[in-house]
Structure 1
Amino acid sequence: MEKKRIKIAILSISSLLMISMTASAILADIQAYFVGVDPSLISMVLTIPALMGLVFAFASGPLSLRLPKKSLVIFGLVCGLAGGMIALLFGSTSIYVLLACSLLLGIAQGMNSTMSMALIADYFVAEESGALMGLQSAFVNGGSMVLLFSSGMLAGISWQMSYLVYLVFIPVIVIVMKNLPRDHAPAHTADTHQEKSARLNGRVYFTALTMFLFGVFLFVFQTNVAMFVVGNGLGDASTSGLINTAMSAAGMLTGILFGRMQRVLKKLVIPVSLLVGGLGMLLIFMLGSLPSLFIGAMCCGFCLATINPAGTFQAANAVHPSISSLAIAVVTASTSVGIFVSPILSNGVANLTGGGIEIKFLLAAVGLAAVGLMSFVGNAIMDKKEA
């Protein structure tokens, strides 16, 4: 019964992990509202949560060794609620108010993205852990789908109204307070000698590199889809919201099936997911139509929902259970760095080549395919050394 309550708490936290992505559908509206503001500064409304997510995803690992994970989770949730409410009430006064709110959202995103996975690693083992990580990914995407759709519809009234969805933090805080135990999880092993000698290894760092590059290239979709839709006369903020909803819907279905996929594909899960994401980006670059955007979004959703649990599971199982939270924090932080770097790199490439927004999707397609190949070769080499 206690495990069931812990699952409810973990999945409720997970349903809010992509809430900062609601800004992706309104970036074009924010840019139109704040006339004369640098587009790179506007993009930071979406990317600053990734930067703060980096700091707090990494910090939450060591902190969880000293403080109850429940306290850390509640702190993150309260920060997310505060950020959303300030943006709703005062976001229209200045772009810097929105950026400050993004900082608070980043604290929530970084803290709880690590904690949700760490709680799974603490309380669940072996196949049960892998299956729950997939289900967690499904809730991340399912929650994202509902939140993005709702915020997109509210943005049809005004872009500020899209922040009303952040009220959903309130019931989640209540669920966590009621269902998540405050005490530390029991250790899976009593081998204290092994625990003292536990340290991060090459597979953790290689997984972190893979997740960093994944963040760099996949996030091109999120930072550019709204502007691509408006710039090509394909729709407005509501259309962008629907496209993002399609991405989340594909991710939700993928997360539900992740356990079976992992059993079938085994160590090919990460390379296959990256190749599918690259295919979606290539389709957008080549066709640039509304249907291609929806199909590309679903490919990206598949990639996101597959590689996140697969990478986390790989890192957590590569080290001693006593430092699995730290391994998860390193991988999560690496993804956040990649997300933050993404618009800087893609905008730089677009400026250097003199191409439009379409060239960014080509960059992402080539990049994801290359990272998929790198992942396959790198893990094969490490498997051979370990054997």
Structure 2
Amino acid sequence: MMCLLSVGWDMLSMRAVSVMFSLLASSTNSLKALISKADSPPVITTEVNDVFSIYEIPFSTSRSNQHTTFARHGSNSRAAWAAGIKRIHRGAFYHYFHAACPSYNAPHPMPDRTGKRAEFGRTAERKGNSMSSAQVKEGFNKAIIPIMAIFALGASQGGVNAGLATMGAAFPEAGPNIGYVISMVALGMIPSGIISGAVTGRFIKYRTSIIAAIVLYIVSGCWPFFMGSGESFGMLLASRFVFGFAVGWSYPLAQALTFKTFDNENKRASILGAGMAFFNLGSLIMELAGGYLALVSWQACFLVYLIGIIPLVIVIFMLKEPERDSEQAAELAAETGGEVKTKIPPIAFLYMLMLTLIVAFAMPTILYCSFVLPDSAISGWVLSAMTLVGAVTGFTLGPVYKKLKKWTLPVAGLFLGVLYVVCTLNAQPGSFNLVVYIATFLVGHWGFAIVIPATGNMITNLVPIGAATRAMGFNTAFHQAGCFLATPVATLVMGLLGAQAVTDLLLPCSIVIVVLGVLQFVLAGFTDMSKYDDGYGKVELHHDA
């Protein structure tokens, strides 16, 4: 931690460091707000230790009739929940530690997939001990921390950006292909996301899968540090592919855990948005640390991935094993009287494809901003500011989705395209306006930082809980395909236009994003959300002793 602080001190001014830590503090406060403002305790899906039997439970199962009445009449149980929190025994650390993710839904009127309050006059049975809402809230706290830790490792490509120049000198045979040190990570994430989603929860436990992925993340990420001068460039790329495989294995599981843990679609959007915020904060910290380490040597900058030890410890001690997708689907079907659904609807893949295309055509504007701005110092500050914008933007997804619902994606996509068109118009030779370029570039990034988590959130609303992990694996693969295809897309556009400079392709790419935004409006218009509802989030679950 002291190393990271010194990095921030050396790389940024005192004011920039203050902004970064203020943002970290606001991240924590925002997550707390998600808890305090919730109308009902969240859905937590893992088992609880029998130690709870020695505690007095404020909401005992003897009150089931009372809660059934609440459900029938749509009453708000927030006051009762708050009372339960006050009465819980706060001083027992052992109790707190084992409160993580109990398999319990406190009795309350549960919102459905469409955001309307469902009125079920019955309660469903699930295995596990009866839990108070305060214990559920503690479990929520413990569940969200490892999820955010996994999200923070997702943006790991840029950790070695600062060492690319010295890497190019160490591997002169690489030439312009030195950029594949970054893009090879995205290539590795594509197959691993699909495989991870297919096997985790079916053949491998979630905890085992995530822990193994983070260990591989640390080992493969740091491996180039031990490479000698005689090693080939191909060996470096191979290590980066393995590293990308590790990142792509763990990242979709953070999304899947969010899907499985939170059945309220508005709350789920908030958590996925917070994940995007931590994604960007992790990127910022690693870029700063990587820049500092690159001053030592190009090999040393790979030591930045030792930061993975922190999420590893958090996951080992705080992540509880969730139910399998098939188990959740079977329980849901039993309680709703419906069938077990485990298929990903085709329309979900259309949304994933739109994500691939938007990312592929937006990335050139981001990647080539250094060709537009006057010098590398300004480029560095603008890119750092962009990362901060992405972090702040993540916390806006919840409120935006609550208002716009399925229209969130098309609004964000069109917003991104229009702002990038204005941005690139001011990047042309003879009409360059630095202030307008930077302002529209940063404000437009709101749309980019919304599109990514909002697509994941849309997938959770279209896909049955029985396919949660597989769907998130595919979503990660499509996302990273867009990242990897950005350079080939830029090359293709330049070839089609006969352009000589990279700045010539920015405006056409931005216009394509506008077109994609319009197509997303059409897609959203044809998407009937109720058609894809499997009842997840509608059934009010309650424990019996």
> Is the CA contact (8 Å cut-off) linking 2:157 and 2:183 kept in structure 1?
no
Say if 1:174 and 1:384 are closer, same or farther in 2 by CA, change over 3 A. Answer: closer
Q: Which of 338, 342, 352 is the matching residue for 1:198?
A: 342
2:528 alignment partner, SS class? helix
Instruction: State the 1:249 CA deviation.
Output: 0.5
Q: Which of 294, 297, 305 is the matching residue for 2:449?
A: 305
Q: Which of 360, 381, 385 is the matching residue for 1:216?
A: 360
Amino acid at match of 1:115: L
Say if 1:94 and 1:137 are closer, same or farther in 2 by CA, change over 3 A. Answer: same
Deviates more, 1:377-386 or 1:300-309: 377-386
Say if 1:170 and 1:297 are closer, same or farther in 2 by CA, change over 3 A. Answer: farther
1:65 alignment partner, SS class? coil
Q: Distance in 2 between matches of 1:360 and 1:166?
A: 34
Partner of 2:409: 270
Q: Distance in 2 between matches of 1:25 and 1:221?
A: 19
Counterpart check, 1:370 vs 2:515? yes
Counterpart check, 1:335 vs 2:479? yes
Instruction: State the 1:283 CA deviation.
Output: 4.7
Residue by residue over 1:203-247, the C-alpha shift from the partner in whole angstroms, topping out at 9 and shown as x without a partner, is 201111111112211222454345x26xx65126xx554333212
Instruction: State the 1:131 CA deviation.
Output: 1.4
Q: Distance in 2 between matches of 1:69 and 1:333?
A: 19
Q: Which of 174, 183, 186 is the matching residue for 1:47?
A: 183
Q: Distance in 2 between matches of 1:184 and 1:199?
A: 18
Say if 1:56 and 1:91 are closer, same or farther in 2 by CA, change over 3 A. Answer: farther
Partner of 1:57: 193
- Pairing of 1:1-387 with structure 2 (within 5 A): 1-39=138-176, 41-66=177-202, 67-90=204-227, 93-126=231-264, 127-184=266-323, 187=328, 189-191=331-333, 194=338, 196-225=340-369, 228=371, 234-235=375-376, 240-288=379-427, 294-295=438-439, 298-299=442-443, 301-352=445-496, 353-383=498-528
Residue by residue over 1:294-352, the C-alpha shift from the partner in whole angstroms, topping out at 9 and shown as x without a partner, is 44553464234211221111111112111122222222211122222221121232244
> Is the CA contact (8 Å cut-off) linking 2:153 and 2:251 kept in structure 1?
no
Deviates more, 1:295-304 or 1:54-63: 295-304
Q: Distance in 2 between matches of 1:370 and 1:29?
A: 40
Higher RCO, 1 vs 2 (CA within 8 Å, ≥6 residues apart): 1
Q: Give the TM-score taking structure 1 as reference length.
A: 0.88
Q: How many residues align?
A: 381
> Is the CA contact (8 Å cut-off) linking 1:149 and 1:241 kept in structure 2?
no
Q: Distance in 2 between matches of 1:197 and 1:124?
A: 18
CA RMSD of aligned residues (A): 2.8
Instruction: State the 1:12 CA deviation.
Output: 0.9
> Is the CA contact (8 Å cut-off) linking 1:51 and 1:337 kept in structure 2?
yes
> Is the CA contact (8 Å cut-off) linking 2:407 and 2:524 kept in structure 1?
no
Instruction: State the 1:30 CA deviation.
Output: 3.6
Instruction: State the 1:293 CA deviation.
Output: 6.3
Say if 1:245 and 1:98 are closer, same or farther in 2 by CA, change over 3 A. Answer: farther
Amino acid at match of 1:15: A
> Is the CA contact (8 Å cut-off) linking 1:279 and 1:296 kept in structure 2?
no
Say if 1:95 and 1:221 are closer, same or farther in 2 by CA, change over 3 A. Answer: farther
Instruction: State the 1:167 CA deviation.
Output: 1.3
Instruction: State the 1:383 CA deviation.
Output: 3.2
2:149 alignment partner, SS class? helix
Amino acid at match of 1:366: I
> Is the CA contact (8 Å cut-off) linking 2:410 and 2:524 kept in structure 1?
no
Say if 1:343 and 1:64 are closer, same or farther in 2 by CA, change over 3 A. Answer: same
- In structure 1, the gaps of 5 or more residues are none
Say if 1:161 and 1:367 are closer, same or farther in 2 by CA, change over 3 A. Answer: farther
Q: Distance in 2 between matches of 1:372 and 1:116?
A: 27
Deviates more, 1:90-99 or 1:265-274: 90-99
Q: Distance in 1 between matches of 2:198 and 2:367?
A: 31
Say if 1:170 and 1:266 are closer, same or farther in 2 by CA, change over 3 A. Answer: same
Instruction: State the 1:155 CA deviation.
Output: 3.4
Q: Distance in 2 between matches of 1:159 and 1:201?
A: 46
Which structure shows the bigger proportion of residues in helix conformation?
1
Q: Distance in 1 between matches of 2:139 and 2:235?
A: 41
Q: Distance in 2 between matches of 1:24 and 1:371?
A: 30
2:172 alignment partner, SS class? coil
> Is the CA contact (8 Å cut-off) linking 1:57 and 1:330 kept in structure 2?
yes
